Structure 1
Amino acid sequence: MSAITLRLPDDKHQRLKILAEQRGTSINQLLNEMATLLLADFDAETRFRLRAERGRGKTEHGLELLRKAMG
């Protein structure tokens, strides 16, 4: 596990502290959960872009498959 130093304005730190307290967790855990969500979004976008690239130029083939599936 790694440790990082995060510099935040005092008001933002205070707001995060309040949020963490309201959720019954620590600021560290709150930031860990936020990082997990951001990474999940990044991974989903990356997968989407890769699939879109693989399908580039195959629109008509995809539409033909849909027409065939619909009968």
Structure 2
Amino acid sequence: MTTRLAGRWQRLRALGDAGMTTAEYAVGTLAAVAFAGLLIAVIKSGAVKSALSGIITSALSVAG
């Protein structure tokens, strides 16, 4: 029994970290949400809105 457990433990240690833990997923999700919030704030700014509006108007006038 002890030998079997020791062998299993050695195999697990040899594998290393095979994936992210729950805490790493939480930090990654939090970072993604913060980045999305930053992008939304930038897109809603007046300068970006006017630039996008100008690009769309220019594209529609060329196409039409």
For normalisation by structure 2, the TM-score amounts to 0.46
Structure 1 or 2: more helix by fraction: 2
Higher relative contact order (CA 8 A, sep 6+): 1
For normalisation by structure 1, the TM-score amounts to 0.42
